[in-house]
Amino acid sequence: MPNRPYVIDELISAKAIAARIEELSREICREFRDTDKLVVVGLLRGSFVFIADLARELDVPIEIDFLEASSYGNAMESSREVRILKDLRGAIQGRDVLVVEDIVDTGHTLNHVIALLKSRQPKRLKSIALLDKPSRREVDFKSDWIGFEIPDEFVVGYGIDYAQRNRNLPFIGKVRFTD
Ligand SMILES: O=P(O)(O)OC[C@H]1O[C@H](OP(=O)(O)OP(=O)(O)O)[C@H](O)[C@@H]1O
Ligand code: HPA
Ligand SMILES: [Mg+2]
C-alpha cells in the first residue's frame, strides 16, 4: 500500500553504480565495435537515469529511442500483464539494438519487450539491466548484461519508483516499512 510509512536503506551507492557502468560500457562497445549505428532503447519510465549515464559512456555511434512498458502501476506486485504505452519512434529492422532496463524482477516486462522487438527482425538484439532479482523470476529470461544481482527486496532510486516516488535518489535503496 503506497501510504504505509517507510524508510529507505542504501543498497548500492552512486559511486558503485558509476564504476559498474564504466565496466559494462566497455563490454558493450566490444560487442558492437563494428556497428554503423547502435539503437539504444530505454524502457520508460524506470530506465531514464540509467540510460542517460550509460549512453554517455558508450564510445560507438548511437541513437536513442524509447518504449514505454508498464506492469506494476502503483503496486509492489507485477500485474503480469505488460502494456505497451508508447512504441519506438523508429524502425529497427536490420539494425543493431540494445534495450536498456532498470530491473528484471519476475521477468515479464523485458521478456515481453524482447519478444516484440525480435519480431521486427533487428540484425542484433541485446539487453542490459542494471539490477537482477533472479529469486523472483516467473519466466525463463536472462539479460545479456547485468549490473548487480540483488536479493528479494523492493528497491527504489536511480530511476526506480515506489508508487511513482523516489526515482530521483542518486543511489539504489531498499524500502523498509516502519509500521
Ligand atoms: O520483471 P518485472 O517483474 O516485469 O519487473 C520489472 C519492471 O517493473 C518496473 O516497471 P513498471 O511497470 O513499474 O513501470 P515504470 O518503469 O514506469 O516504473 C521496472 O521498471 C521494470 O520495467
Ligand atoms: O524492486 C522493485 N522496485 C520498484 N519497482 C519494481 N518493479 C519490479 N521490481 C521492482
Ligand atoms: Mg519499467
Q: Cell numbers of 85, please?
A: 504505452
What's the whole-number average pLDDT of the chain? 96
Active-site residue set = 105
Residue 22: what pLDDT? 98
- Residue 110 contacts residue 138 (beta carbons within 8 Å): no
Specify the CATH architecture of the domain 14-151. Answer: 3-Layer(aba) Sandwich (3.40)
Minimal-distance CA residue to ligand 2 atom 1 = 154
Would you say residue 1 has pLDDT above 80? no
Contacts of 121 (CB under 8 A, 6+ apart): 93, 94
Site to probe by mutation for ligand 2, drawn from 50, 105, 162 as the one with most ligand atoms within 8 Å of Cβ, is 105
The sign of the torsion formed by the CA atoms of 154, 159, 165, 168 equals: positive
Residue 9: what pLDDT? 98
Contacts of 88 (CB under 8 A, 6+ apart): 41, 65, 66, 67
Q: Each residue of 78-135: pLDDT tens digit?
A: 888 999 999 999 999 999 999 999 999 999 999 999 999 999 999 999 999 999 999 9
Residue 83 pairs in a beta bridge with 70
Would you say residue 2 has pLDDT above 80? no
How far away, in angstroms, is 118 Cα from ligand 1 center? Answer: 20
Contacts of 1 (CB under 8 A, 6+ apart): none
Would you say residue 55 has pLDDT above 90? yes
Count of C-beta atoms within a 10 Å radius of residue 136: 15
**Nearest alpha-carbon partner for 90 in 47, 127, 146, 37:** 37
Q: Given the cut 0.85, state whether the ipTM is greater than it.
A: yes
Would you say residue 66 has pLDDT above 70? yes
- Residue 82 contacts residue 116 (beta carbons within 8 Å): no
Nearest ligand, CA 74: 1
Residue 74: what pLDDT? 80
Domain borders along the chain are 14-151
Ligand 1 atom nearest 138 alpha carbon: 3
What is the arithmetic mean of pLDDT over 40-47?
98
